[in-house]
Amino acid sequence: MFRHKPTVSLLILHCFLAVGYVTVAAKADVDSLQGKPIAGCSFEDSQCVYHVNLGHHGTCDTTGKDGDTVLMKLVKLQNMLLEQSLLTQAVSMKYDNVTMVIQKIRSALNSLDAVTRHELQPLLQTVISANNATRAELAPVLTRLQTLEKEQGNVLLWLNRIENERAQLLLKVDASSKVYSSCSEWKRNGHHQDGHYLLDVDGKGGVQAFYVWCNMTSSPPTASIGHDRGLRTKTVGYEKVGSHICKVLYDVTMRQLTALMSNSSNCKQYFKYECHGALINTGGSGGQSTWWVSRDGENMTYLPGGDPKLGGCACKRTNTCAGGHECNCDMNDLTWRQDEGYITDVSKLPVTELRFGDTGNAGEQAYFTLGPVECEN
Ligand SMILES: *[C@@H]1O[C@H](CO)[C@@H](O)[C@H](O)[C@H]1NC(C)=O
Ligand SMILES: *[C@@H]1O[C@H](CO)[C@@H](O)[C@H](O)[C@H]1NC(C)=O
Ligand SMILES: *[C@@H]1O[C@H](CO)[C@@H](O)[C@H](O)[C@H]1NC(C)=O
Ligand SMILES: *[C@@H]1O[C@H](CO)[C@@H](O)[C@H](O)[C@H]1NC(C)=O
Ligand SMILES: *[C@@H]1O[C@H](CO)[C@@H](O)[C@H](O)[C@H]1NC(C)=O
């Protein structure tokens, strides 16, 4: 009656946990992205060979804490799925059993005479309502299971962290690995190809070296750091202001990221909000329905591209927002509109959390896209 999908899920997780399969699994998933920028970083001769563009569709619930290692997160997720799958099996078996009993009673009733049938009717009603109760018990369990299954999407995202952790280990093993302090320095030393390069941004003794994506084509070269919200993601069904909470987990630690930023000349991060009846500013003293949270946990009152003093979105700077509002999305007219721009204030970067709302009523929905942190480096 109900399929027990977790069995399959667990198998997949076991594969992920066996380190030997990690790269294969990542590649298979990457191939399935089709046409999207290729995600993941595979090390061949300790060189990273493809670009990382992380992120996923769906919910923003994550398993584990920021400080957890990838394996800790995987183990937690695996345990949750196991527990959940046992629970689902128990409840749905109970449901199936009672359903079977009901069918048996029904067919027994049909073969009885009218009087007996009439007498037994209340008993059947009792059994049916007990079954209904079991079904009600099953519903939230299945919902939770679906959430957990979505969580598995995050596994792919954590792989990039594994790659970085592995890079650190490789570095320890192979002390001869070359490392420079910036993309520009790599370029000056003859590396003109875009790719993943190992940087030790603050020299010996500071933060550990880490991989960044160097765009050597741009001038000066830029270093990009990705995160787990890299893909265009839908937000729908969250009416209350800021009630859809998306934490952003970066591919390197916050200390490494801030070290990179303080060693770079200009840094920025792109954000786009495509809205359909989902406004950003609620108007009056209602504050914002959608906002971002800075590195230090501050709720930011302007949208990326907007003026920190003026507030609002990029269009506000030139007074060109639809309907003369603070943002194009504030038009709130069930027409697809969008606001986009870069955050350039290094003291606030990176975006650590996104908060969305006003997507709970009929027809209301939105998509958001958060770019990597890009620094001239
Ligand atoms: C369901 O029925 C099977 C066999 O008929 C039995 O082994 C099992 O314990 C029952 N499960 C529940 C939850 O009642
Ligand atoms: C059980 O649920 C069905 C459908 O949800 C409903 O039609 C029926 O009235 C319920 N029966 C009892 C006894 O609660
Ligand atoms: C590198 O930077 C250049 C110039 O800014 C840009 O046109 C190009 O798309 C970038 N390459 C990648 C792979 O992002
Ligand atoms: C970055 O750090 C390196 C090494 O510590 C230093 O030589 C370089 O000048 C720094 N660059 C910037 C832009 O701060
Ligand atoms: C940011 O806003 C949220 C939701 O309104 C609130 O819970 C939180 O305390 C605020 N944070 C700060 C630092 O003001």
Give, using CA atoms, the residue closest to atom 10 of ligand 5: 299
User: Which ligand 3 atom sits closest to the C-alpha of 194?
Assistant: 13
Distance (Å, whole) CA 324 – CA 308: 18
Nearest C-alpha to atom 4 of ligand 2 is from which residue? 132
Q: Is the pLDDT of residue 21 over 80?
A: no
What pLDDT is attached to residue 224? 92
Which ligand number lies closest to the CA of residue 93?
Answer: 1
pLDDT digits (tens, 9 = 90+) for 352-362: 999 999 999 99
181 lines ligand 4 (CB under 6 A): yes
Angle between helices 6-17 and 19-33 (to 10 degrees): 120
Q: Considering the chain, what is the average pLDDT of its residues? A: 75
Instruction: Please provide the DSSP assignment of 292-338 as one string.
Output: EE-TTSPBPSB-TTSBTTTBB-HHHHTT-SGGG-SSGGGG-SSSEEE
Helix (H/G/I), strand (E/B), else coil: 16: helix
pLDDT confidence bin for 16, thresholds 50/70/90: very low
Q: What is the pLDDT of residues 177-212, one digit of tens each?
A: 678 999 999 999 999 988 878 888 988 778 888 888
Give the pLDDT confidence of 154-177 residue by residue, as tens digits: 655 566 666 666 666 666 555 556
Q: Is 68 exposed, middle or buried (0-12, 13-18, 19+ CB in 10 A)?
A: middle
CA distance 189 to 204: 19
Q: DSSP 3-state assignment of 88?
A: helix
Say whether 218 sits in a helix, a strand or coil: coil
Ligand closest to Cα of 102 equals 2
- Report helix, strand or coil for 15: helix
Tell me the two tokens of residue 216.
Answer: 């050597």
> Residue ranges per domain, the chain?
1-174
- Which range has highest mean pLDDT (153-157, 234-238, 290-294, 365-369)? 290-294
pLDDT (average), residues 22-48: 32
Alpha carbon separation from 135 to 71, 91, 125 (Å, rounded): 35, 8, 15
Whether the CB of 129 sits within 6 Å of ligand 2: yes
pLDDT at position 133: 83
Torsional sign, CA 155, 160, 162, 165? negative
- pLDDT digit string (tens) for 290-339? 999 999 999 999 999 999 999 999 999 999 999 999 999 999 999 999 99
- Confirm or reject: Cβ of 361 under 6 Å from ligand 1: no
pLDDT score, position 78: 63
Q: Pocket residues for ligand 5 (CB within 6 Å)?
A: 242, 297-299
